[in-house]
Chain A
Amino acid sequence: MAFCLTKAKKLIYNHLKSKMGSLGIINHGNWTHPVSFSHPIPQNLKKPDTFFTNNTTLFASRRFESIIAGKHLDSLRNVFDEIEVLNFPGGKVKFTSEMKFLSESPEERIHCYRVLDDNGQPTVHSNSVQIGEEVAVKMYNDMVTLQLMDSIFYEAQRQGRISFYLTTIGEEAINIASAAALNIDDLIFPQYREAGVLLWRGFSLQEFANQCFGNRDDNGKGRQMPIHYGSKKHNYFTVASTVATQISHAVGAAYALKMDGRDACTVTYFGDGGTSTGDFHAALNFAAVMEAPVIFFCRNNGWAISTPVSDQFRSDGIVVRGQAYGVRSIRVDGNDALAIFSAIQAARRMAIGESRPVLIEALTYRAGHHSTSDDSTKYRPVHEIEWWRVARDPVSRFKKWIESNGWWSDEAEFELRSSVRKQLLHAIQVAEKVEKPAIAEIFTDVYDVPPANLCEQETLLRETIKRHPQDYPSHFQFPL
């Protein structure tokens, strides 16, 4: 690239020199030709019109319309126009004599799209997708279930029954509404605070409990810490503790979907902290270049463990990063289920229909601690947590909306809560009693078949256990 630029500069200079000398007039009608930057305008530069007016104008042509000579202008005018642009890969660049640096931030922060106000009332002139009673009620059901699961599993950890837990408190709308707007064929590459997506897709409370207890029935064979869910059946890739490494997987998988001509996209979730990783930047750039149908969903909840966003980045959040990579982006209210639902559905349509990535930044708040290993009151004021929990709770906001539609009642609420609570307690009791995976599972799945060294090590382990049974847990817990 540097080479091209140098070459271009030299050509321009030489040309100027010769023309100025001989003709005394600037005539650069053809200087752009030797520098053959013939790249077409990338599709990604298309201006995203709103989802509701399906009108796609070429961003480039709109942006450069002032330098395109009109048919009625004479050729001289044409010549003077052309000297003011550099034909560069990606499109023409206008020259300017004004030395002006781009501002580090927009004059006003990027606006946040919302549909429901804090009282659950639709804002005037809101353009959102219509959601019917059945879907809305299921969404509310699942948000409540997620909340109850969090509170009961959290308690189970506090009682020492499971080793670890991590809640989604405050982010129920993000979890459930985004899942509701997707198709089951869309593949999820989660971080670790999106259990609700799996819940929406039909992962049972028993399956959640089995994973947290690491028993024989866990899909992951008890190998990972609690909350590292994964389900092939639900197109939900297994959670890893590593932050943001999943983002570029979603791009590769999206490329595969595109190549297979599938009517599906991938969706990857991550937090504000995750956007500081190299993987985030790599993935956005790759997705733009590969034109991959992937939705990047950033849950900007303000906190990466104890690190506030002010210590994380100085950009206007995440949404502004999209344009730098040539990726469409939108900022939504992460506590407004209807806004999330609408944005995801629009993003999905663009991603698949136009083979492009889309970035969504949802503004929200991690109303719980980072995990059971964390006490967030040590680094943030309690009243701040309380304000988000009470005034901006996404679940009660959505409840007000379905109530105002006449789709929900106090009786339904009572029934739902008591029924889910019972199911959760039952799931825990069952999961606790299921035995641990067999010892052989230590050695399987490292490779498709265990190689010689693993077979040897398995034999050695079994012999050692037999020789020193008192030093190992009883056979009941870990069947040989």
Chain B
Amino acid sequence: MATSLRRFGRLALISRNWSGRGFSTSPSGEINSYSNIQQSEGKSINLFSAINQALHIALETDPRSYVFGEDVGFGGVFRCTTGLADRFGKHRVFNTPLCEQGIVGFAVGLAAMGNRAIAEIQFADYIYPAFDQIVNEAAKFRYRSGNQFNCGGLTIRAPYGAVGHGGHYHSQSPEAFFCHVPGIKVVIPRSPRQAKGLLLSCIRDPNPVVFFEPKWLYRLAVEEVPEDDYMLPLSESEIIQEGSDITLVGWGAQLSIMEQACIEAEKDGISCELIDLKTLIPWDKETVETSVRKTGRLLISHEAPVTGGFGAEISASIVERCFLRLEAPVARICGLDTPLSTCFRTLLYAHQEQDIGCNQVNNKLLAILLL
């Protein structure tokens, strides 16, 4: 906690600097510190409402912020932008034509003028037409100009992950593609409280950020969320549960499955340390390294296909740093290297079906690894 506080202090300092740089973005008044939000009681809300609150605050605290994307005007297909257009006007919250490369290109230009451009891509599966704009434009805007120009006010929000009948094109977790791109940040929250605090940090961060929202949890995850303005630090992971036998690393919706696996493992006498990475690039290597030095084992789990997933990067980095301390090969429990099949969803995503016990597959694999 002391570390968290100290790091947060640094973040707050950065936020003050933004206004000095002509970024009219520092929220007026004091932002709650990390310790305050632990104590402050909020209302129980779900994840999409937490995102909605964050967007309200972002628009309220900075007149130079804009929210836009396909169907955003009426509240968005996942209701994340509900009420924003009525409150802040159609000039600041608006629909765009159905064209992802146009949305991000427009957003880069808007952000380059010192604005907070908060662009929504309706599904992460549809972000690829904007890949060029993200990789070649947003990510290199500052570098190629020698810091004369930047589009740091850009935040791209996109719902990711499998849920229900989504199939190939409403289920993908494309985070690894973006983790190969210097110049952007990739952030994924695990819960409503995290979503609000991290999204506000992303919006106010002076770098372009891709923010993936776990759509499985939009309505499912409910948590007490402080109603006021607070930010959670980027590039700082969090130990959700301390343990001594194995380190588990994950992000986003997958953590809810991993948490269940930890409970199951506990019954078998296995003590798990669970880490939420939160920011995938630039990621908090130190926390993971320290944990693995303690436990001697590492398991990474993500929903995206295992091959070339971000788990591979974590695995390689930790082997480089902790080779002699590792007592078992680093394990990856991840998605299959296949597109997502709609008819097999009850098999592949058993954890999402209420009548099936949580994550039996993961738990079994976990137990095997620990033997």
Contact = CB atoms under 8 A, between A and B. Distances in A.
Contact of A249 (B108, B140, B148): B108
B147 A256 contact: no
Interface string B108-127: 11111111010000000000
Nearest to B139: A446
A218 interface: yes
Given A245-B136, A256-B115, A447-B282, A250 B109 contact: yes
A242 B286 CA distance: 37
A363 interface: no
Interface stretch (B96-104, B190-198, B295-303): B96-104
Contacts of B152: 448
B206 A448 contact: yes
Pick the most buried of B105, B143, B144, B282: most chain A CB atoms within 10 A of its CB: B105
Contact of A240 (B136, B146, B207): B136
B238 to A, nearest CB: 17
A348 interface: no
A317 interface: no
A345 interface: no
B172 interface: no
Contacts of B105: 245, 247-249, 251-252, 279, 282-283, 286
Interface string B74-103: 000000000000000001000011010110
Interface stretch (A76-84, A147-155, A223-231, A387-395): A223-231
Contacts of A230: 144-146, 148-149
Determine the interface band of chain A, counting residues with CB < 8 A from chain B: 35 or more
A452 B287 CA distance: 13
A401 interface: no
A289 interface: yes
B156 to A, nearest CB: 13
B183 A220 contact: no
Contacts of B285: 452-453
A278 B98 CA distance: 12
Interface in B145-192: 145-150, 152, 182-183, 185
Contacts of A231: 148
A245 B110 CA distance: 14
Nearest to A221: B146
Interface string B241-280: 0000000000000000000000000000000000000000
Nearest to A451: B282
Given A237-B112, A248-B101, A285-B102, A446 B148 contact: no
B106 interface: yes
Given A230-B148, A445-B142, A278 B129 contact: yes
B143 A445 contact: yes
A242 B137 contact: yes
A219 interface: yes
A232 interface: yes
B352 interface: no
Interface string A280-291: 001101100110
Contact of B137 (A228, A240, A254, A290): A240
Interface string A233-276: 00001101010010111111111110110000010000000000
B49 to A, nearest CB: 28
A52 B108 CA distance: 36
B132 interface: yes
B146 A223 contact: yes
A282 B136 CA distance: 17
A286 B106 contact: yes
Nearest to B183: A446
Nearest to B96: A286
A250 B91 CA distance: 18
A282 B235 contact: no
A444 interface: yes
Interface string B282-326: 100110000000000000000000000000000000000000000
A445 B146 CA distance: 7
A279 B101 contact: yes
Contacts of A282: 97, 99, 101-102, 105
Contacts of B110: 252-253, 255-256
B199 to A, nearest CB: 19
A248 B149 contact: no
Nearest to A268: B109
A253 B146 CA distance: 20
B359 interface: no
A223 to B, nearest CB: 6
B133 interface: yes
Contacts of B109: 189, 248-256, 266
A219 B145 contact: yes
B150 to A, nearest CB: 7
A208 to B, nearest CB: 15
A232 B141 CA distance: 13
Contacts of B136: 240, 242, 245
Given A283-B102, A444-B147, A446-B182, A252 B117 contact: yes
Nearest to B207: A447
Nearest to B107: A252
A213 to B, nearest CB: 14
B282 A257 contact: no
Contacts of A224: 144
A253 B235 CA distance: 30
B106 A252 contact: yes
A134 to B, nearest CB: 30
Contacts of A252: 105-113, 117
A219 B143 CA distance: 11
A259 B102 CA distance: 19
Contact of A248 (B111, B113, B133): B133
Contacts of A228: 144
Nearest to A238: B145
13 contacts: A189-B109, A220-B144, A230-B144, A232-B148, A237-B145, A237-B149, A238-B146, A248-B109, A256-B113, A282-B102, A289-B96, A447-B185, A448-B152
| A-B complex: 7 closest residue pairs judged by Cβ atoms | A252-B109, A248-B105, A282-B102, A249-B109, A451-B282, A256-B113, A252-B110
Given A259-B91, A290-B106, 8 more contacts: A248-B102, A248-B108, A249-B112, A249-B137, A256-B110, A282-B99, A452-B235, A453-B285
